[in-house]
A and B are shown apart, each in its own frame.
Chain A
């Protein structure tokens, strides 16, 4: 075991000047009104732990657990506090100190044993789809959270999808772990858009989960092992960009895969650069957009998805209030902290309802699942679509 709180960097922590500008950007502060559930409060707590001025207290770990890791605070922090790095290191440090719990052990084991192994995860996905068909899943809570599964996304046998028209770029596409199971239609649309944008799309064979879910969950070592495997695969490939249509993965790849340098691109970021052909048909819908935290805050990408959506002919665009505030999904958070997740979700659903949109576009599977479940429960007719699916409707 490593020394207590050795992963947390004192210099990172010291960048916080305690000004408090982050507070109202934090979804958990907004609903609780408590300093202890704010970025500034969490940094203050972790700094005390790190410096040994406050003894470790199991009761206080809940403040760390309750952080969504959405990193909205990072975008508003003038001091440049690397909050994402701090909270991930803090979580890993806390794991060494706290009492073991069955729930957390189970989630870590599920990550390592299931998500970390592509074959097992896909088998589980297929089994779940079968169970849905046989209407067995309504017995489990998580079954109600999950969308209705379509046949899982399959790259072409050659692992390459050709460009439509002249080939301008060759890109790698992150198939990922849960996306091909939960939202194969988003992947299908994304790949088609890339082809339309003149990209030859390569699907790196044997690629594993990028490790984002592990890192967010305080398992930096688990994430490191996956990174090693994937890095070897990427090193061997030739591509202009690694395109990612799931914001959480994109953020993790940008932060943790230094060898890829600036070649990791979110789908909207890349399409804005590469350029799409003229749209073929109108999409007559009132549309709003929910920022994915790991896109808007971790990757600072807010403009491109909005520009792409607004360029679709027929779209009646409406900006939602608090669009860049987390919806409460945050990876495994909605499962580990269901109460807080739901409180945050309810505020989001109110803001969504006020837009009177037909469709809310998203850029991450976690957000999509969370919003779908919330809207379904409220009996709303509003649809949730990945940006890629919405764009693809114009072609």
Chain B
């Protein structure tokens, strides 16, 4: 609970209605798209950079944690207020301030929804490339904070490759621009440091992003495979031939079943796995690439191949892929999801390890992931109401991530470390590495008020604390 006087100070900044401190309402803000939850002491709705700055000044003066929050679709607990404090909601800052057709850039507020930006940009023949599966709802501010990826990041790169500059508010409430209009950063790349800092270094209030010309021709292929192993071999073969498609996605049999039930996209439900491959460019080149890829897939046991014939068909294939994680709710109401990355050549090994771990713990696992860049998404499916399985889920998740690391992989491809994976950081970073990161944190936020408890391992915290209070969220603990 924040003192009444602080609440009053906050209300004077953003207005009475824009501060929520009723405990029962705060409960509704305890989670994001991941499974852990912790209640904020207040939710503050900012409408401008001035609001964000003034709120952070108050927080700094009283040493209150501040956690910026967009749509709350994140999958690593980035927006969870694990040490209480202020959830600083930027969802009302949703103006697209400028689209420059010649420079091919957009200046947006952090609450602009990813897909909305691409829809507006499309009127100028442009699009915003990073396309997380939650793009219907997630915000550009959240994308920049988490350095989000998406299916098309295989070819186009992740968020940091598309952010040209940002207006940020630092831990003392001061407002700064980092980088700007130029495509190259001269000097130390501060913008690069802040993109992906998960709210621990700054709050983002404006973002200048690169837009790209919508390619004249796009081809989307769907292919079935007898097993997840054969599909992985096909992925390696495509990339091994020197072809980098715009996107190369895999879904296993469990996922396909769930997705097909909602989208009726025509995914073959009997397949062991399916691949969704997209290439874009000029028509001649996409035709050539499609033919080459089809042959490679067929040589690697691919069957029932089809190419989307209309934009609507293409959209439907993608809707299925992007709604996949949500669709798993048809099997079990909760998922525990990691997003480790392995070198592509290790895909078959890591996937069989994931399968074995699931079997060992007798837990259903659904795989849906960015196969092209080796970015796994094994979803362990369970029901939080069944208290007995929770420890199994926790242990299985940890083992899967361990398998990823042992095969030379990384903890996260795009979801961020957040709360969920902070305990595992020492698996891949030495004390010196972590110390260097700590020192960067200290430069920006020595007092530690910005999104505390994230990224850095907290020795007193269990990795995931699967002992909940509500049967709805897993109560996040840091003490």
Contact = CB atoms under 8 A, between A and B. Distances in A.
B172 interface: no
Given A17-B326, A53-B469, A60 B24 contact: yes
* Residue of B20, B72, B111 with most partner-chain A CB within 10 A: B72
B27 A48 contact: yes
Interface string B20-51: 10101101110111010000000101000000
Interface stretch (A19-27, A169-177, A233-241): A19-27
Nearest to B133: A21
A79 interface: yes
Interface stretch (A33-41, A124-132, A160-168, A365-373): A33-41
Nearest to A33: B91
Contacts of A32: 92
B333 to A, nearest CB: 4
A44 B472 contact: yes
Interface in A75-122: 76-81
B368 to A, nearest CB: 11
B97 to A, nearest CB: 17
Nearest to A10: B385
Contact of B470 (A15, A29, A48): A48
Interface residues of B, number: 50
B15 interface: no
Contacts of B325: 17, 19, 78
A356 to B, nearest CB: 15
Contacts of A54: 24, 27, 470
A38 to B, nearest CB: 9
A352 interface: no
Given A45-B28, A51-B470, A54-B24, A20 B330 contact: no
Interface-central residue, B324, B329, B334, by most chain A CB under 10 Å: B329
B328 interface: yes
Contacts of B20: 34, 36
Nearest to A42: B28
B330 A80 contact: yes
Interface residues of A, number: 38
Contacts of A321: 119
A25 B136 contact: yes
A78 B333 contact: no
Contact of A21 (B31, B136, B328): B136
Given A24-B113, A24-B116, A59-B22, A78 B324 contact: yes
A321 B115 CA distance: 13
A15 B330 contact: yes
Nearest to A41: B28
Contacts of B262: 78-80
Contacts of B28: 35-36, 41, 44-45, 63
B446 interface: no
A135 B209 CA distance: 57
Contacts of B116: 24
Nearest to A51: B471
Given A24-B113, A48-B470, A79-B326, 4 more contacts: A23-B73, A33-B45, A36-B20, A36-B25
24 contacts: A14-B333, A15-B333, A19-B33, A19-B134, A20-B73, A21-B137, A29-B91, A32-B92, A34-B43, A48-B470, A51-B470, A53-B472, A59-B25, A63-B28, A78-B259, A78-B263, A78-B323, A78-B326, A79-B262, A79-B326, A79-B327, A79-B328, A80-B327, A321-B119
- Give me the 9 closest cross-chain CB pairs, A-B, nearest first: A79-B329, A78-B323, A33-B91, A78-B326, A20-B73, A17-B329, A14-B333, A78-B327, A33-B92
